[in-house]
Amino acid sequence: MLIDAHTHLDLVAERGIPVPDALRHAREGGVTHIITASNNPADAAWAVEAAGKWRGVSATVGWHPMEDHVPDSEELEALRKLAAQEHAVAIGEVGLDYYFRPGYHETPKDVQQASLEIMLALAHELDLPVVIHARDAQQDILAMLRNSGTKRVLFHCFQGDVAHARACLEEGYLISFSGIVTFRTAAELQEVAKFVPGGTFTIETDAPFLTPVPYRGSTNEPVHVRETAAFLAACRNTTPEAIALDATATAAQFFQLPPSDAIGEDGHLERSHHD
What pLDDT, in 10s, does the model give residues 81-133? 999 999 999 999 999 999 988 888 899 999 999 999 999 999 999 999 999 99
Go through 70-80 and write b for each residue having 16 or more CB atoms within 10 A of its CB, e for each that does not: bbeeebbebbe
Can you tell me the distance from the alpha carbon of 121 to that of 51, in angstroms, rounded to the nearest whole number? Answer: 24
Arithmetic mean of pLDDT, 15-41 = 98
**Taking 60 as the threshold, does the pLDDT of residue 269 lie above it?**
yes
- Position 275 scores a pLDDT of 53
Question: What pLDDT band is residue 68 in, cutting at 50, 70 and 90?
Answer: very high
Can you tell me the distance from the alpha carbon of 160 to that of 67, in angstroms, rounded to the nearest whole number? Answer: 23
- Position 169 scores a pLDDT of 97
Q: Structure pTM?
A: 0.96
CA angle 151, 173, 255 (to 5 degrees): 75
Arithmetic mean of pLDDT, 206-211 = 98
**Taking 70 as the threshold, does the pLDDT of residue 265 lie above it?**
yes
pLDDT tens digits, residue range 229-259? 999 999 999 999 999 999 999 999 999 999 9
Q: Identify the structural domains of the chain with CATH numbers, from first to last.
A: 2-255 (3.20.20.140)
Question: What pLDDT band is residue 272 in, cutting at 50, 70 and 90?
Answer: confident
Instruction: Single out the residue of 215, 222, 169, 226 nearest to residue 192, CA to CA.
Output: 169
For residues 1 and 11, which has the higher predicted lDDT (pLDDT)?
A: 11
- Position 194 scores a pLDDT of 98
Percent of the chain having pLDDT more than 70?
A: 99
